[in-house]
């Protein structure tokens, strides 16, 4: 992992479901600003790809750190769902 670029991609409630970041990436963490109760799903590559991370979080600031080498999104990190009015997530990828 040393020497690879770490990047952050923002997604807000109401944004279209889409791949964020490079085609192949490791999910290192997710930062969540939840104005309302929040749920999000990250999938591998598409809306029908394997679920990589599926969480429900309370109102407030939430840091989700992925240990070790993160979660490999071999076909890209696809933000399939983000619920809760006014919520925003930042997906940290390498």
Per-residue confidence (pLDDT) for residue 4, from 0 to 100: 74
The vertex-85 CA angle with 87 and 51, nearest 5°, equals: 60
10-residue mean pLDDT series, the chain (94 residues): 80 93 93 96 96 97 95 96 95 96
90: number of Cβ within 10 Å: 14
| 9: nearest Cα among 66, 88, 87 | 88
| 8: nearest Cα among 76, 62, 80, 89 | 89
Per-residue confidence (pLDDT) for residue 22, from 0 to 100: 84
């Amino acid at each position: 992992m040393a020497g690879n670029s770490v990047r952050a991609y923002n997604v807000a409630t109401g944004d279209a479901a889409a791949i964020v970041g490079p085609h192949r990436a490791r999910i290192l963490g997710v930062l969540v600003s939840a104005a309302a109760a929040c749920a999000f799903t990250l999938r591998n590559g598409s809306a029908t790809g394997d679920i990589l991370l599926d969480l429900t979080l309370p109102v407030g600031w939430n840091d989700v750190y992925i240990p070790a080498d993160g979660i490999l999104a071999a076909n890209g990190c696809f933000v399939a769902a983000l619920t809760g009015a006014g919520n925003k997530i930042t997906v940290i990828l390498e």
